Amino acid sequence: MTEQTTPSTDARSTEPLDRVLNIAAYRFVTLHDLPSRREQLRALSNELQLKGTILISPEGINLFLAGSEKSIEAFLVALRSDAPFADMMVKQSWTSYQPFKRMLVRLKKEIIAFGVHQVDPRVATSQKLQAKQLKEWLDQGQPVHLLDVRNDYEIKLGTFHAAHSIGVENFRDFPKAVESLPDKWRSEAVVMFCTGGIRCEKAGPYLEQQGFKDVYQLDGGILKYFEDVGGDHYDGECFVFDRRVAVGPDLCESETEQCFACQAPLSLDDQQSKKYVVGESCPYCFESPDEQAWRRRGERQEMLLQVTSPLPGSIPYDNIRPINVPLKFDKHRLLDCLDGVHPHVGRDTWDALCRDGRIRFNGQAVNSDRIVVAGERYENCIPMTTEPDVSSGVQILDEDETLIVVNKPAPLPIHPCGRFNRNTLIYWLNHVYAPQVIRVAHRLDANTSGVMLLTRQRWVASQVQPIFARGEVAKTYLARVSGVPQQNQFAVEAPISREPDAGGFRRIDENGLPARTEFTVLKRLDDGTSLLRVVPKTGRTNQIRLHCWHIGTPIIGDNAYLEGHQFGTRQTLLPSEPPMCLHAWKLGLRHPVTNDDREWVAPPPAWAGETPEK
């Protein structure tokens, strides 16, 4: 906001001892050749070592300057030599310090932003009301509506008795706010006022265009009123737009400060608050740790929505998939390496991709007979890729400087793999938290929903991942299974294969990795299914799904481990298909940095019915 904030030249009969002269002035007048005017004013101000702001636009000039008396006088002589400003009057005051930090000369569309082209103070303004006349009206109790057109944060410091606040955070909102004024005011006297008068130059004509018949503007604003009649009928101080922050009816700087963070003016009482930390916060912007966390989560959720709307993998793109040469294929043919690293693709397919120029090294197509070296990185270029749809409703449950906890929807893969690259949780979170690289602390299958922990820094990942590996994490799942277990509580101990088979499935393997899962029946349902609380004591791939399948109660919706000990033909579901009824419900661990115990809970999905035991 730009307002006049200083009293006029005849405000004091004696010159103050302070030696920094402040001036403020505006004039609505048609100006041309604005770039040239800007350069002239900038050169002049810098030459005279002035500081402040000058705004020029096609509709006029608005200025606030401070410097030595000699420099200010020289500036005014030069300014008034320009015909549009020949008789321009200024308001002035004295301070013991320079209230401005730098010198700015800016070109603007308007010298006071309003945005209503039909209002032009060069053509017409409302009738001016002198300060002494207003005081006389108020002394006599003359019926008049006082309308404060300033922003709410300014009015907080003070205003006239019984004045009506227009209720805006920005003057450009004034036209909309006028709609809420009482209809009866249209035929009654309305006196509007602001800091120095410039806002009323536009607010008054706008009110008249809206049918208000008897509109006045306080000439010179609040500061002129203070200068001419003092503080009668006024409560508090007047906010000003420089380092003084506010002045009292004596036009002297008050003890009001301004918050560095939110720019709110702060009274002495405000400054005594424990929430006031210089340069950081005040009672009006202070946030408790919980409030800060809530705000951050809201901001992240909005960013996630932007990243996933539309799903990034739904837009065709050239997908570059890296292929690194392991040591065991050093000095082998490229085709042997490709087929050995990714045998599920098929040797003939890899050969065809090489012939089509899709396999590249350093951006150049290579043939399948090329001899590779361990550590080389090749690329499989898949043009115009589109990915299958996934569920995008990721919910951020918690975050701090080190960890992120989300409620992952399903189906949603975690890492780029197979048909999925951009439609993955890690791809989205890396965009939301850039430039940080997000790392997973544990796994959840694409078709499994619920609590998932991720880390924001490499060193944190190195602390958290071993916690999971050592089994020092309390994990609780909900599962809805086909069938009705006879026991209320039971455990399954069945080793799981170390590697997937050719179809990508794990199996129960007596020579595999030891695995234990504990089950509690929460509900036995009329449709022949059961709701189980599941606690995995080890962390093998597909462990819960495979153990449920092994005992003849496969998880509802699991398209990999089917009833009758059969295997499916694909891994990841589509969002349009019935969900797999496995949900990571709770996750508890000791925080790797703060060392306090934490537990996160992801609300049960609809298939779990009413919220089960806590």
Task: Specify the number of domains making up the chain.
Answer: 4
- The CATH number that applies at residue 374 is 3.10.290.10
pLDDT value, residue 264: 86
Please check whether residues 417 and 375 belong to one and the same domain. Answer: no
How far from each other are the two terminal CA atoms of the chain, in whole angstroms?
Answer: 54
Q: Are 582 and 447 in contact (CB under 8 A)?
A: yes
pLDDT value, residue 302: 95
| Assigned domain for 305 exists | no
562: burial class by Cβ within 10 Å (0-12, 13-18, 19+)? middle
Please check whether residues 65 and 212 belong to one and the same domain. Answer: no
Q: Tell me how far apart the alpha carbons of residues 145 and 502 are, in angstroms, rounded to a whole number.
A: 84
Q: Mean pLDDT in runs of 10 for the chain (614 residues)?
A: 43 49 93 96 97 96 95 96 92 86 94 92 95 97 96 93 94 94 96 96 96 96 94 94 88 88 87 88 84 87 95 94 94 96 92 95 94 95 93 94 95 91 96 94 94 94 88 94 95 94 86 96 95 95 96 95 89 91 96 92 93 58
SS3 516: strand
Tokens of 119: 């209002």
Please check whether residues 534 and 433 belong to one and the same domain. Answer: yes
Last residue of a domain, one of 385, 417, 444: 385
pLDDT value, residue 588: 96
Please check whether residues 398 and 381 belong to one and the same domain. Answer: no
Last residue of a domain, one of 224, 254, 284: 254
Please check whether residues 84 and 172 belong to one and the same domain. Answer: no
This model's pTM is above 0.85: no
| Assigned domain for 546 exists | yes
Last residue of a domain, one of 358, 385, 412: 385
| Assigned domain for 511 exists | yes
**So which residues are the catalytic ones?**
194
Q: What range defines the domain where residue 226 resides?
A: 127-254
Please check whether residues 431 and 549 belong to one and the same domain. Answer: yes
- The CATH number that applies at residue 490 is 3.30.2350.10
| Assigned domain for 76 exists | yes
Q: Tell me how far apart the alpha carbons of residues 208 and 91 are, in angstroms, rounded to a whole number.
A: 28
pLDDT value, residue 4: 47
b/e sequence 515-525, b meaning 16+ C-beta within 10 Å: bbbbbbbbeee
| Assigned domain for 323 exists | yes
Please check whether residues 40 and 137 belong to one and the same domain. Answer: no
Q: Tell me how far apart the alpha carbons of residues 347 and 335 are, in angstroms, rounded to a whole number.
A: 7
- The CATH number that applies at residue 47 is 3.30.70.100
Please check whether residues 166 and 213 belong to one and the same domain. Answer: yes
